[in-house]
Amino acid sequence: MSGHHAPPGLGEPHFFAHDHDAVVAAGPPESQRLHLSGVLLPQGERTDLWVVDGLIRTQPVRDAFTVCTGAWILPGLVDAHCHVGLGAHGAVPREVAEAQASADRDAGTLLIRDAGSPVDTHWIDERDDLPRIIRAGRHIARPFRYIRNYAEEVEPEALIDEVARQATRGDGWVKLVGDWIDRDAGDLAPLWPADVAAAAIARAHELGARVTAHCFGEESVHQLVRAGIDGIEHGTGLDADTIALMAERGVALVPTMVNLENFPGFAAAGEARFPAYASHMRALHARRFATITAAIEAGVPVFAGTDAGGTIGHGLVGTEIGLLAKLGGAEFALGAGSWRARAWLGAPPVADGAWADLVVYDTDPRLDPDVARTPSLVILRGSVVSR
C-alpha cells in the first residue's frame, strides 16, 4: 500500500491512475482522495471528478476511492436564509448551534447565508466539518417590534450607527426587520421611516455591506426596494411594480416557502387581540404562490432559504427546493438552492482547483425535486461528511 488510509465505510480503493495519466502531487497520507462519476448539474453531462486536499480536480488522480458512479452530482446546497445560534427564545449555547449547523450539513447545505443571529458563530469558521457561513450580524429591529431576544433593538435615530456596527460584525450583509405587528395599529407596519432606511442602506453600501430585510406586508417592501435595498426576505407583500423594480435592479428575493406555511398559525395566535393583523396574514398566505411565482416569472433572482432557527427546524433545504419547484420547475428550484445561489454569494463553480463542496444523489433530482431531501453523499472541503 502506498501509505494512505481508507476513509471509514468507503470500501476498497480503486486505482485509476496509469503511468501516462496526469497525477496531482501526493498530499498527506491521511487525506482523502476521492473519485466521483455521474451527471454533473447544471451542465447535465456525464462527468468524472476527483478530489484531493479539499479541492476538485478534473484530471485523474492516483489512489482515489470511487465514492459514486452513475450518480447525480450538484455543487453543495445553499440555505440562503438560516439562523445558526438562534432558538425559540433567542441565543442558544454553542453545542446547540453546532447541532443546528450539523443538521444543515447532513441535508446537503454546505453554504449558509445567516440572516441574523444573537451570538457570534465565527468559531464555526475553524471547523472543517461544518458549513461555510456568510453572516448578517444580528437582526436590527425596534423595541417591542420583533420577537423578544432576537434582535438588536434601536429607535430610528440610531439605525444608521447600528447598521454600521452590524456591518462590521457580519460577513458582508446586514439584516433589518422591515415590518412587524404594530400593536397600536393592530396590523403589520414598517419599522423604519423610508428616508431613515434609505440613509442606513447607503451607509451599509459605503462600508461594503449589502442589506436585506424581513418584509411580510406590502408597505415595507414597497419602501425598502425604492430605498435601494439589496435583498428581500419573505416578500409576501410584493406587487407587480415592486417586482418589476427588483428584476430591473437585481434585488434578490428569498421567499422562505417553508416559513410561509406558518402564516395561518401566526394569524391564529394574533386573532383575539389583533383581528386585522390576523386577516392580513391570511390574505398574504392565500396569495403566496401567485406572489412568488410572479417574481420568478419577472426574473427576480430568487433563492432557497428555509428560515431555520428560532422555531423552524434545521436541515429542511430539500423541502424548500421542493416547494420552489412547484412554482418555477425543478431546474429552477435546484439552481435556487445550489449553483445560482452559490454564484450570487461568491462561491466558485465546480471547476479544477475549486472547493470540493458537493452533494450527490442516487436518482435525478430534475425528475423529482423531492430527491433533494435525501442526498446519498455529502462532501465538504473534500471530505465525506455525511452518507
How many whole angstroms separate alpha carbon 284 and alpha carbon 17? Answer: 58
What x-and-dash track marks residues 179-208 binding Zn ion by CB under 5 A?
A: ------------------------------
How many whole angstroms separate alpha carbon 371 and alpha carbon 319? Answer: 9
> Is residue 339 a contact partner of residue 75, using CB atoms and an 8 Å limit?
yes
176 binding Zn ion? (CB under 5 A): no
Exposed, middle or buried by CB within 10 Å (0-12, 13-18, 19+), for 208?
exposed
Helix (H) or strand (E) holding 276: helix 275-286
Q: How far is the CB of 87 from Zn ion (least distance, A)?
A: 13
Instruction: Identify which of residues 63 and 307 has a Cβ nearer to Zn ion in the complex.
Output: 307
Instruction: Identify which of residues 57 and 113 has a Cβ nearer to Zn ion in the complex.
Output: 113
Near Zn ion by CB under 5 A, which window of 2-10, 44-52, 188-196, 304-312?
304-312
Q: How far is the CB of 115 from Zn ion (least distance, A)?
A: 5
64 binding Zn ion? (CB under 5 A): no
307 binding Zn ion? (CB under 5 A): yes
Helix (H) or strand (E) holding 295: helix 288-298
Helix (H) or strand (E) holding 378: strand 377-380
> Is residue 112 a contact partner of residue 76, using CB atoms and an 8 Å limit?
no
Nearest to 189 by CA among 277, 90, 282, 100: 277
Instruction: Identify which of residues 151 and 225 has a Cβ nearer to Zn ion in the complex.
Output: 151
Near Zn ion by CB under 5 A, which window of 58-66, 288-296, 299-307, 372-380?
299-307
Instruction: Identify which of residues 225 and 308 has a Cβ nearer to Zn ion in the complex.
Output: 308
Indicate the DSSP class of residue 224. Answer: H
Q: How far is the CB of 372 from Zn ion (least distance, A)?
A: 21
How many whole angstroms separate alpha carbon 345 and alpha carbon 380? Answer: 17
Q: How far is the CB of 197 from Zn ion (least distance, A)?
A: 18
Instruction: Identify which of residues 39 and 269 has a Cβ nearer to Zn ion in the complex.
Output: 269
101 binding Zn ion? (CB under 5 A): no
The string of DSSP letters for 13-36 reads ------TTS--PPP--TTS--EEE
115 binding Zn ion? (CB under 5 A): yes
Near Zn ion by CB under 5 A, which window of 60-68, 115-123, 202-210, 375-383?
115-123
Q: Which three cell numbers stand for residue 338?
A: 445550489
Near Zn ion by CB under 5 A, which window of 97-105, 106-114, 216-224, 301-309?
301-309
Exposed, middle or buried by CB within 10 Å (0-12, 13-18, 19+), for 341?
buried
Near Zn ion by CB under 5 A, which window of 66-74, 88-96, 166-174, 306-314?
306-314
Size of the site for Zn ion (CB under 5 A): 2
Instruction: Identify which of residues 71 and 115 has a Cβ nearer to Zn ion in the complex.
Output: 115
Instruction: Identify which of residues 115 and 258 has a Cβ nearer to Zn ion in the complex.
Output: 115
Q: Which residues bind Zn ion (CB under 5 A)?
A: 115, 307
